[in-house]
Chains A and B, each alone.
Chain A
Amino acid sequence: MTYVLLLEPNTLLAKTYTQLFEHVGYAVGHATGAQEALAIADKRTPDVVVLELQLPMHSGVEFLHEFRSYSEWLKIPVVVNTLSPPSRLAALYVALQSDLGVTAVLYKPQTSLQVLLRTMRQQLAQI
């Protein structure tokens, strides 16, 4: 069963995404912050990570630096699904994609559940 690590600080949105993923047969580990997410990943290696960059305490970028520092998690696809608009992310794109291995960046308010799911499936198919 595909295991999704969902890093989403808003617990209501997390509930909606979790319901969606479970509906299509995925298992979900949810964290509201970076430390908690690393602990969850440590217990069970995810097949894909869905990540909000705007997190309380440590940012999503800080999470990615830590996450990618472990060799066993280097190849895991990471889909960024964030409230940060593309205009704000422009300066980050190179770092996200080249240095931190982010495979897709989505703008959350304008990303439907269908698009999110399709993007995740595409990333999983490329492993």
Chain B
Amino acid sequence: MANASEGAGGDVDSLLLSVAEQLKIPLTVIARQAELGHMTGDGTLVDASTIRVQADAALQLVDSYLLGIRLLREQTELPLEPVSVSSLLVDVAHSLERFAEQYRVQLEVSIAGKYQPVMAHQQGLKAALVSLGFALVEAQAAQGTGAKRVTLAIHRTPHGLVTGIYGQYEELAAKQWRRALQLQTSASQPFHGLLAGSAAGLFVADAILRSMHSHLRPGRFAGQQGLATTLQPSQQLRFV
């Protein structure tokens, strides 16, 4: 019978494989961009901004992965604290801004109304949402022609504050997400309806959220589909 640590080891291995596969993309973009300038002798073809943004995205994924595996390995939970999810979402959008620009995806933040703080781990929640955002922006860019828009949004439900990232994704439903989680260890494209690659950003985000008693699940917002997590409002601050 597999014990908890063996289970965590399996998760760590599958996350590592997934991240390694995912890192091929920004590294290939950087390598080919540099080669293009050298080969053509035309410095104007080298887009320094693309190289920087891709390198930053790769580093961010590595950092989020390291946070995720530390939590899985140590079987620890992140200490929860009251976090202003509205401010955090704006911060996440800022982190995704240049990446989205590169992929010509319009980024929007929808925070209608005032929301009380939620119980979360600020650094962990931000890392999870940024990882999720990178993956969903990349997925949106590959969804055929036409205007591309990704929305970071919060809305209130009876179960808590649903915080997620949404766009026009044809194949993003509960069934496909469950299947992707099952295929994470065995398939090179576990979520092929959404992403061409390993979808590491989604799995890293989910791993971090699980250490905060939460997880990712498909959701809808204003006619868009996406992945979201439900966060519990801080009871302590509600009455302050």
Contact = CB atoms under 8 A, between A and B. Distances in A.
A17 B28 CA distance: 12
Contacts of A2: none
Nearest to B23: A109
Interface string A83-110: 1100010000000000000000000110
B143 interface: yes
Nearest to A58: B192
A79 interface: no
Contact of A57 (B25, B42, B103, B192): B192
A1 interface: no
Interface residues of A, number: 28
B144 A33 contact: yes
Nearest to B191: A56
A119 to B, nearest CB: 15
B100 to A, nearest CB: 12
B98 to A, nearest CB: 12
B119 to A, nearest CB: 35
A122 interface: no
A109 B143 contact: no
B141 A11 contact: yes
B191 to A, nearest CB: 9
Interface of A: 9-13, 16-17, 19-20, 23, 32-33, 35-36, 52, 54-57, 59, 83-84, 88, 108-109, 112-114
